[in-house]
Amino acid sequence: MKRLFIIHGYNAYPEKHWFPWLAEQFPQLQTTSITLPNAHAPQLDEWLGAVQQAIGKADENTYIVAHSLGTHTTLHYALTQTTIGGVILVSGFAEKIPHLPILDNFAHPIDDAYIKKTIKKRIIIAAKDDNIVPFSCSDRLAKRIDATMIAQETGNHFMQSDGFTTFPLVAKTLEAML
């Protein structure tokens, strides 16, 4: 059976933004929204441990949709696996964000070649007007890991406060990926 994991970001939780809506869109999948500890003061080792505990060993039937800092966590998780079916990284990044030094403990190097070998399908969705994770960060990551980039002119950081309690683009992209 195909499994879907939804991974939130900094200052978020599974019931926020468009995450509950997405979980309801795929009743045919075994879907889990992962709660990450200390979302207001995140630590990579804690978040990675929570993801590893929730997912366990990934395989070609494992799919992950992650948002913001959850994308960075997803990439670190992928470094501990041998195969992942696919990931959709929304507002994805894998570097320091200058105006968010609280997140610097996540900025460990990512082995791009290993990511490309391990994650079979890689897609990044990012908005050019994102004021939290600059679009250039998402674009650099897409190029580094040979991910398909779906660039949106607007959408900011795709949060509830940006009007995103649903996100049909993510659902459509995931459906095509499956």
Assigned token pair, 12: 């978020």
Q: What is the DSSP letter of 14?
A: T
Residue 139 annotated to the active site:
no
Cα–Cα distances in Å, from 152 out to 31, 42, 102, 117? Answer: 26, 28, 27, 27
Cα–Cα distances in Å, from 80 out to 77, 105, 155? Answer: 5, 18, 32
Marked catalytic residue, from 8, 67, 72, 157:
157
Marked catalytic residue, from 68, 76, 91, 139:
68
How many residues in total does the chain contain?
178
Residue 130 annotated to the active site:
yes
Marked catalytic residue, from 8, 17, 33, 130:
130
Residue 157 annotated to the active site:
yes
Helices then strands, counting H and E runs in the chain, come out as 6, 6
Q: What is the C-alpha separation between 20 and 166, in angstroms, rounded? A: 9
Contact (Cβ atoms closer than 8 angstroms) between residue 135 and residue 127: yes
The residues assigned a catalytic role are 68, 130, 157
